[in-house]
A and B are shown apart, each in its own frame.
Chain A
Amino acid sequence: MIRLLVVEDETLFRVGLQKLLSLHEEFEIIGEAADGEEAVLAVQELRPDAVIMDVHLPRCSGIVALERLRELGVQTPVILLSTFDEEDSFLKGMRAGASAFLRKDVPL
């Protein structure tokens, strides 16, 4: 069982994503966060196996949150999500240590 943390500010998408992932037995959603700062705290507290995080988040972006996690020595795999193909965000995210950079409409 892979324990996941979902970080997304759009409630409808966050709930839908959790539901979609729950359909697969190998995933367990252990928590959720709606912004980057909340995500950093949740990762430290819940110690998930992987994080699925939106790039554009309020208060602190997904990329900045990922950088902070790496600075804190947290090596949890992070998958970044984005609505559009954003080359700049992709490069920054991968440089910050993301495991993957996916578009939100990618089929599971």
Chain B
Amino acid sequence: MDARPLLFWVRWGGVAVCLVLGVMVQIDDSVAARRWLIGVSLIHVLAFLRVTRQFPPGPRSPTAWLALQLAVSLPLDSSIWIVNALSIPLAMPRETRRRWLIASLVLGVAGFALFLWLRLRSVQMEKLPLLDLAVALGVGYAEMVLWTLIAYFAAGLIVKMDADKRELAGLNAELMSSRAMLAESSRMAERLDIARELHDSLGHHLTTLNLELEIAQHCSPDDRDEQVRKAQFLARLLLADLRDTVTSWRRELNSGLPEALHSLSAGVSHTKVHVKIDPDMPALAPPHAHALLRCAQEAVTNALRHGGASEIWIEAVAAPGEVEVRVRDNGVGCARISPGNGLTGIRTRAQEQGGSAAFESPAAGGFLLSVRIPQTGDAA
């Protein structure tokens, strides 16, 4: 939950409580006392608003305003100390919060005593039993302390929630940038591999071919045929190099999905996962391979979580112009398939890559997912 809307309600709720308390306690007072107390209440509200103005707290704590807020609380209703306890975690740095809480509780005693004196000064004290008065004072003060602590910790929780959220946002940003950096470094490594491959095999043979042609240009007509034959041999060698290099790249690109499916099966414990990959599996464009992998992951998760399967079969099949990944399990299946978030996600992923997804739950039990994605040849 977001801490900012909570903070809004705490702040303006606090103002409302202050005003209600201010009006409530002043009903029985004389006109002069009421005017004086209204003034003090308004100063308290102003100080409370000023103290809680900046969130999260800035480098300069509103120490003077908080001191004023506590000071003007003395003649007001004792419940005002609960509002004061709210403002401490919202405005003060962590290390000074406890000191302010203690100060607030100590001042609360004085405030509570002052409040009672103001209320009871007209009452003839000798008519009140002393023990009853002491118990009433103790219970009243304990109640105030309890509510003050609840308010203090509740506000502290809001502050912590906000700090956690900000930290999480920072970590998330860090993670995103690391992921982007990792992807970029992986792309760079691939480019470097291609450059090295071009340099090591094709570059050398092309240079030698050029050299043989240069020799043919300079040598006698009798030797020229021999040179041309050599150049032709080198051209064939070059073609073979190129073929080998492209085949090796295709194989490397293709290795992504099968490896990932095998890793997926290795990561599942207590359930046997069988993986079968078509040996003629063509090279897949990375987004296609990624989509197929995510669909298989989702299907395996569903089989474990909802189906209670003891065995899962993953099969990657190459069909003309498309690639199909089938995930089958021996779980309980379901009488009626209603695509929830998981199955909807699978269908969306497949459709985003121009493919389709089909689900089936045979009467005998189990569940079958089939995802087909066209082969565009982007990878090759």
Which residues of A approach B to under 8 Å, CB–CB? 10, 12-13, 16-17, 19-20, 23, 83-84, 104-105, 107-108
Given contact pairs A23-B218, A84-B199, A105-B210, a sample of 14 additional A-B residue pairs in the complex whose CB atoms are under 8 Å apart? A12-B208, A13-B211, A16-B215, A19-B215, A20-B211, A20-B218, A23-B215, A23-B219, A83-B203, A84-B203, A104-B207, A104-B210, A104-B211, A107-B214
Complex contacts, B215 vs chain A, CB 8 Å: 16, 19-20, 23
With A23-B218, A84-B199 in contact, do A17 and B204 touch (Cβ < 8 Å)? no
A16 to B199, Cβ gap below 8 A? no
Return 9 A-B CB contacts under 8 Å, by A number: A10-B204, A10-B208, A12-B208, A16-B212, A20-B214, A23-B218, A23-B219, A104-B207, A105-B211
Count B-side interface residues using an 8 Å CB cutoff. 15
Residue of B nearest to A12 (CB): B208
Which residues of B approach A to under 8 Å, CB–CB? 199, 203-205, 207-208, 210-212, 214-215, 218-219, 230, 234
Main SS of chain A's interface residues? loop
Complex contacts, A84 vs chain B, CB 8 Å: 199, 203
Complex contacts, B205 vs chain A, CB 8 Å: 12
Q: How many A-B residue pairs have CB under 8 A?
A: 38
From B199, B212, B218, A83 is in contact (CB under 8 Å) with B199
Complex contacts, A104 vs chain B, CB 8 Å: 207, 210-211
- With A and B bound together, what is the CA distance between A23 and B223 in angstroms? 12
Main SS of chain B's interface residues? helix
With A12-B234, A20-B218 in contact, do A83 and B204 touch (Cβ < 8 Å)? yes
Closest 3 CB pairs between A and B? A16-B211, A104-B207, A83-B203
Distance between A108 CB and nearest chain B CB, rounded to angstroms: 6
A83 to B219, Cβ gap below 8 A? no
- With A and B bound together, what is the CA distance between A105 and B205 in angstroms? 11
- With A and B bound together, what is the CA distance between A39 and B345 in angstroms? 64
A105 to B218, Cβ gap below 8 A? no
Distance between B220 CB and nearest chain A CB, rounded to angstroms: 9
B208 to A16, Cβ gap below 8 A? yes
- With A and B bound together, what is the CA distance between A86 and B214 in angstroms? 23
- With A and B bound together, what is the CA distance between A16 and B210 in angstroms? 10
- With A and B bound together, what is the CA distance between A20 and B207 in angstroms? 13
Complex contacts, B230 vs chain A, CB 8 Å: 16
A13 to B214, Cβ gap below 8 A? no
Complex contacts, B234 vs chain A, CB 8 Å: 12
Complex contacts, B207 vs chain A, CB 8 Å: 13, 83, 104-105
